[in-house]
Structure 1
Amino acid sequence: MFWELIATVFAGIGGAGIALLLRKLTKQTAPKWLVPVFAGTAMLGFQIQGEYDWYDHQTSLLPKGIVVVKTVQEEAPWRPWSYAFPQTMRFIAADVANSAKNKLDPNLVLVDLYFFERRSMAKRVPQIVDCIQGARADFTQSFSASPDPTIPSAPTWYPLEEDDLLLKALCDAQT
């Protein structure tokens, strides 16, 4: 984020420089207010471009075998352009290449999900996906595949839609 701030300042300096060049070419007849307007516009444009390029840049850095399974687009009043062009600010990726079937129940697949958010560190969350039931559960050291809720270590299963990209990526890859 520090380098992004530095780049934004330099974008402003570049915009101001263009306005100063215009004033020099017009023999100082161009209005003085062009300098801060060009500087502000350059900084704002740089920030907007960075917001929209973030998702594409992050996904290009993902290693082979990691698949994006969900994206979240957001709109905000302080970014009025986002109502016309929503921005992808968060996404979830699954490490399909390193997923593993359970040896006792091959319908269960262990996978790492990575949660990415703009200006935040990625978070890794291990999950168990049941390909037959179409559900997922958090994986812990005391995980028990038993669906019996009376067992203290029984997981909470969250149903997934039939066309969920996580199910398609994992269960199609495992068959």
Structure 2
Amino acid sequence: MFLELIAVIFAGIAVAGVMMLVNSATGGRLPRWLAPVAAGLAMIGVTVSSEYGWYSRTLAGLPEGLVVAETVETQSFYRPWTYVVPLTERFVAVDRATLRSHPDKPEIFLAEVFFFGRWAPISQLSTVADCATWRRAAVEAETTFAEDGGISGVNWVSPPPEDSVLTTTCGG
């Protein structure tokens, strides 16, 4: 966040400097208000570019096997450009590279789910997905795994058929 603030400030200073040079080269024919307006527009442009670039930059840095299950796009009145192109501020990813299942229960997977958010730390949640009955549960302190692959101490949730975490975990 701090580096982005520095980038915005430097963009404003650079554009204001360029406008002052252009004004000097044209013999002072440009209006005096043009330099601060151009600097402000440059700062807004860098901010918008940084906001929209966050998702693609974060995706590029994800390790192989981490699959995006769901994105959350937002629109807000103080960012009018988000009504034209919604802004992705959060997403959920499932680590398909580390999915584990018991040989006796191949339809039940233990998966790591990651929650990413702009300006938020990454959160991780271990989940159990039962692909045969289309339900999932968070692994908690009370969760126990039996030798035969049975699981107890979880609160199963039966989400709708289009649940993105289950769809990604179960392979489509």
TM-score, normalization by structure 2? 0.89
AA partner of residue 76 (structure 1): S
Asked whether 1:99 is paired with 2:68, we answer no
Q: Deviations over 1:94-151 (max 9, x none)?
A: 1110111135532221111110000111111111111111121110232158xxxxxx
AA partner of residue 156 (structure 1): N
Alignment of 1:25-174 (within 5 A): 25-144=25-144, 154-172=153-171
Distance 1:77 1:94 in 2: 32
Say if 1:159 and 1:25 are closer, same or farther in 2 by CA, change over 3 A: farther
Distance 2:160 2:69 in 1: 12
1:15 maps to 15
Shift of 1:154: 3.7
2:149 maps to none
Which has the larger share of strand? 2
Q: Deviations over 1:24-60 (max 9, x none)?
A: 1211110110111011111100000011111011011
Q: Which runs of 5+ in 2 are unaligned?
A: 146-151
Q: Deviations over 1:47-76 (max 9, x none)?
A: 000111110110110000000000000001
Distance 1:104 1:140 in 2: 22
Q: Specify the SS of the correspondent of 2:140.
A: coil
Higher mean alpha-carbon deviation, 160-169 vs 12-21, is at: 160-169
What percentage of aligned pairs have identical amino acids?
36
AA partner of residue 161 (structure 1): P
Q: Which runs of 5+ in 1 are unaligned?
A: 146-152
AA partner of residue 53 (structure 2): D
TM-score, normalization by structure 1? 0.88
1:150 maps to none
Distance 1:144 1:107 in 2: 18
Does the CA contact (< 8 Å) of 2:12 and 2:42 recur in 1?
yes
